A and B are shown apart, each in its own frame.
Chain A
Amino acid sequence: MVNVMKGVLVTCDGAMKQFLLHLDDTLKLGRKFIIQDLDDNHLFISADILDVLQAKIDDLMDQISFPLAEKGQ
């Protein structure tokens, strides 16, 4: 017997993967979304969470970046 599931394969670096796992664990997106943890750089997630996830990651990027240039005087 074979188990078949549809979803999205995510390829990322280790740090990003940990962040995704954290989001999954703490239910930050409202529910669990990781279907299977494949290896260090790959995750299999459900497809319908994608938009929310991308927005969340954008937020994260905004939080960890600092304005480089000084505006104004």
Chain B
Amino acid sequence: MKMNNIELPAEQTPEFSSVDETSLIVVIFDSNPGQKLLRDNPHILTHCLDSIIAFSNSHLMQKAQNKLAVMACHSKKSEFIFPGSGKPLDVRQIDGQYETFTLVEKTIKQNLAKHLAGESPMLNTESLLAGAIAMALCYIARLQRSKSPGCMLNSRILVVTGSSDSAMQYMNYMNVFFTAQKQNVVIDVCALDQHLSLLQQGCDITGGLYLKIPQLQGLLQYLLWVFLPEPPIRQKLVLPPPAKVDYRAACFCHRELIDIGYVCSVCLSIFCKFSPICTTCHTVFKIPPLAVKAKKKKIKL
């Protein structure tokens, strides 16, 4: 029996650190009909879309204050398909699904259909993923600025794509990766079809997760397992270990990944072949004294 002034060590639930933060996720869905995966079998698009919608709703289900944005990325432009522009749809609860989730599902489907209809059919170019990530970063930055003081927001970007990353966008990729790193935005990448070495670098730089899914059928389950936990609680879970990252850079002259190259000593531009004038900063270099050759000659003599 205890008397007053005694702080009863009451039966407390153990204080485990838990995040009270609002978690924002921007999903970038590569819906470019030109990617190989979709050219082979267009029905995959619906499958992926359903998985992404279910995943997005699961994210909203985690916490009442969680936020969501979904983007569609194409070869010509990227667009926000949730929250869509203009007035939100008027949805009524019809089949027991939480109203907010119905709204998400309807909006995404409607906007994506609009987006795809406006696309000229046979365009076989790559998706502008770097551009889409940049847009997502802008969106996050805007929310960060407009949030009420005292409110914590952790943001991340999830890229779901079946196209391959080309070194064409190397510079753009690096710019967005380092911006994201600076803004504390985590980039996660879920590769549906091909291994993406550049985006993998992005995940590594920003502390995100990269997963090339082995089976497209189980897409939703992979998304829920690996990408649903928000960054602060990832340390508590066992998630796929980071693979060795291919950190090769692309040269500025031919946009090809190289192991060894020439670097401009002034602006750090990378070239696969020696050029007397740096194309980026126009510094003039002397032709290197071919020391190796000179040596060889000596030996011959």
Direct contact, A vs B (beta carbon within 8 Å): yes
Query: Which residues on A are within 8 Å of B, measured CB to CB?
Result: 8, 50, 54
Residues of A within 8 A of B5 (CB): 54
A50 to B3, CA, bound (A): 10
A7 CB, nearest partner CB in chain B, Å: 12
3 pairs, CB–CB < 8 Å, chain A vs chain B: A8-B3, A50-B3, A54-B5
A8 to B3, CA, bound (A): 10
Residues of A within 8 A of B3 (CB): 8, 50
A47 CB, nearest partner CB in chain B, Å: 9
Residues 226-248 of B, flagged 1 when their CB comes within 8 A of A and 0 if not, give 00000000000000000000000
Closest to B6 in A: A11
Interface of A is mostly: helix
B152 CB, nearest partner CB in chain A, Å: 32
A50 to B5, CA, bound (A): 12
A35 to B217, CA, bound (A): 77
Residues of B within 8 A of A54 (CB): 5
A8 to B5, CA, bound (A): 14
Closest to B5 in A: A54
A5 CB, nearest partner CB in chain B, Å: 17
In the A-B complex, list the 3 residue pairs whose CB atoms are closest, starting with the nearest: A54-B5, A50-B3, A8-B3
Residues of B within 8 A of A8 (CB): 3
A54 to B3, CA, bound (A): 12
Closest to A54 in B: B5
Chain B positions 21-80 with a Cβ under 8 Å from a chain A Cβ: none
Residues of B within 8 A of A50 (CB): 3
Closest to A47 in B: B3
Closest to A11 in B: B6
B110 CB, nearest partner CB in chain A, Å: 61
Closest to A50 in B: B3
A8 to B4, CA, bound (A): 13
Residues 172-183 of B, flagged 1 when their CB comes within 8 A of A and 0 if not, give 000000000000
Chain B positions 1-17 with a Cβ under 8 Å from a chain A Cβ: 3, 5
